[in-house]
Structure 1
Amino acid sequence: MYKAKPRSGLLAEIDRNAPLQTEYVEPIAASVRQIRGVLGDTLHSLYLTGDVAQRCAGERADLSLTLVTTRALNVQEFTSLNTVRWRLEQSSDAVKRVEFDVVPFKEVTTLANIFRWGFFIKHCALCIRGDNLADSFGHFEVSWEVSKAMNEDLGVKLKELRKKIAVATKWGAQLDASEDAAKRLIRAAFGLVAYKENRWEQDLNICAEYFNKHYPDKSVEMERLFYLIERKPVKKRAVVALMDSFGQWVQSEYASIDRKIG
């Protein structure tokens, strides 16, 4: 749910005033309380992202939170946050998984990361605690620099998810990692064409639609990614093969476009 765009060509922020979906109000409040309890003044600000922030989540959804901290966290603090994550997941039927992304304040505000964290905080996140860093950034246009920055960690994330799939002994763990990988790949694929379409989308179906418009020869791979999002059981070998082949293609396409534009 977005506010009106500030002017033609610039993206809007998520509406700060629209009410959150009822079933997620208490889990969000609990997350704020418990994260503050662990980090105290080390927490600079806390942001809600994903479908819950967009007010378009279904009856069950992931609770995705970005924690901006005044400094890098230590091992004990990360361990405590893992405990908070587990408690939140157990306390609400509406929450499928809780995801934390922790980033130090200096990393968010450095000019070198403006197309990554500046764009993300301004247009993809909703501040639910602390000083809202979105007010520190102007509105962005969709550009190749934004697409590249928002997907620069794709290779690292896919490697992590590949390991999770490899060691999974239960379907639930494998399906979670496979679904996460598919979502990341679809959004990264959309990033290849976002600057051409001059739009930024969060809805996976819309992302796929615009990607297929420019890359119709990859429609089969896109269909298979949605098969993973539907959480249908697929053998590990097939999931990993899809992640590897399509992931490598997406990354090589980013490099190719970057060479042409740069």
Structure 2
Amino acid sequence: MDTTRGLDADGCIAREGALDKVPAAFGPVVGAVRERITAAFDPTRLHSAYLYGSIPRGTAVPGVSDLDVLLALHHEPTAADRTDAAAVEAALDAEFAQIDGAGVLLFATGTLLSELERHDLGWFVACLCTPLLGPDLAARLPRYRPTSLLARETNGDLALALPGWRERLAAAGTEAELRALSRSVTRRVVRTGFTLVMPRWGGWTSDLTASAEVFAAHYPERADQMRLAAATARTPTTDRGLLAGFIDDLGPWLAAEYTAVHGEKAPRP
């Protein structure tokens, strides 16, 4: 595990990705992302574009990892923007066998820089996103430390996700739907487990295995479940019983413990 615990010399969370960390196999993918976004979104719409996830962190595995992109727009995303983003996703996924799916998030710059999102989406851009196109919004955001406030505003709303997960599990009719749900549930659970103890640990990591181990040191009675969630996040399951365990046992316990320790995330409109 990183002995710096993901912090810079001043004790602030260091930006985890960089274009020079992109594995060679994904270089053509990143080049195509830049070209397709520039073609689809002109400067009147696009303020800036970012990569996040395993590709800019340098840990992506060809044929396994997905491509994650965030676009900051000058205005609130419209239906046309979402249609264009979906076309970019589909084209990249079809063109490159290196990626297992592409996802493009759309936000207005006003949202990303807002006070309400200062310790959620703002932190996400400043610390977890790697600039790809346009001016970097991180220059207009503060530096961040692994505090209880950051924990609350990033993951203090797990309870709100549980009903939707239950509905998706009940409605899932294909293995692909179950694997997609598995990935969503386990990644969210592990990241919530990590941020629950992040202020006590005093650092940041996006590595799911490391996150589970940090959590396990503080909650040994739930350690095996969290390690299983981290393993399942890497290899999604179609086992309904396993998913139900995460959604109906570990999830509710984690949500309640999170609220007790950090409080609830500020409500969003």
TM-score, reference length from structure 2? 0.86
1:128 maps to what in 2? 132
| Counterpart AA for 1:251 | A
- From 194, 211, 216, give the equivalent of 1:212: 216
1:31 maps to what in 2? 33
On the 8 A contact 2:48/2:134 being kept in 1, the answer is: yes
SS in 2 for 1:128: strand
Shift in Å, 1:214: 0.6
Give the number of aligned pairs.
259
SS in 1 for 2:66: strand
Say yes or no: does 1:201 pair with 2:177: no
2:102 maps to what in 1? 98
For the structure 1 residues 244 and 101, does the alpha-carbon distance in structure 2 shift closer, same or farther, using more than 3 Å as the test?
Answer: farther
Between 1:34-43 and 1:94-103, the stretch displaced more is 34-43
Q: Which gives a bigger RCO, structure 1 or 2 (Cα 8 Å, sep 6+)?
A: 2
2:13 maps to what in 1? 11
SS in 1 for 2:235: coil
SS in 2 for 1:127: strand
Say yes or no: does 1:242 pair with 2:255: no
Shift in Å, 1:91: 0.9
| Deviation by residue 1:146-192 (Cα, 9 ceiling, x = unmatched) | 11112145445555555444433331231122022101110110010
Output aligned runs, 1:120-199, within 5 Å: 120-199=124-203
Segments of structure 1 that go 5 or more residues without pairing to the other structure are none
For the structure 1 residues 38 and 18, does the alpha-carbon distance in structure 2 shift closer, same or farther, using more than 3 Å as the test?
Answer: closer
1:252 maps to what in 2? 256
For the structure 1 residues 183 and 174, does the alpha-carbon distance in structure 2 shift closer, same or farther, using more than 3 Å as the test?
Answer: same
On the 8 A contact 1:165/1:178 being kept in 2, the answer is: no
| Counterpart AA for 1:126 | T
For the structure 1 residues 194 and 84, does the alpha-carbon distance in structure 2 shift closer, same or farther, using more than 3 Å as the test?
Answer: same
2:267 maps to what in 1? none
Percentage identity across aligned positions? Answer: 19
On the 8 A contact 1:46/1:130 being kept in 2, the answer is: yes
Shift in Å, 1:28: 1.9
On the 8 A contact 2:19/2:130 being kept in 1, the answer is: no
For the structure 1 residues 163 and 9, does the alpha-carbon distance in structure 2 shift closer, same or farther, using more than 3 Å as the test?
Answer: same
| Deviation by residue 1:77-108 (Cα, 9 ceiling, x = unmatched) | 21232222111111111101212222111111
Shift in Å, 1:19: 4.5
For the structure 1 residues 7 and 63, does the alpha-carbon distance in structure 2 shift closer, same or farther, using more than 3 Å as the test?
Answer: same
| Counterpart AA for 1:25 | G
On the 8 A contact 1:48/1:127 being kept in 2, the answer is: yes
Q: Distance in 1 between matches of 2:160 and 2:36?
A: 29
On the 8 A contact 2:93/2:100 being kept in 1, the answer is: yes
SS in 2 for 1:221: helix
Say yes or no: does 1:222 pair with 2:191: no
For the structure 1 residues 258 and 5, does the alpha-carbon distance in structure 2 shift closer, same or farther, using more than 3 Å as the test?
Answer: closer
SS in 2 for 1:201: coil
Q: Distance in 2 between matches of 1:125 and 1:211?
A: 24
For the structure 1 residues 221 and 19, does the alpha-carbon distance in structure 2 shift closer, same or farther, using more than 3 Å as the test?
Answer: closer
Between 1:30-39 and 1:152-161, the stretch displaced more is 152-161
Segments of structure 2 that go 5 or more residues without pairing to the other structure are 265-269
Q: CA RMSD in A?
A: 2.5
Q: Distance in 2 between matches of 1:216 and 1:230?
A: 22
1:45 maps to what in 2? 48
TM-score, reference length from structure 1? 0.88
Between 1:12-21 and 1:250-259, the stretch displaced more is 12-21
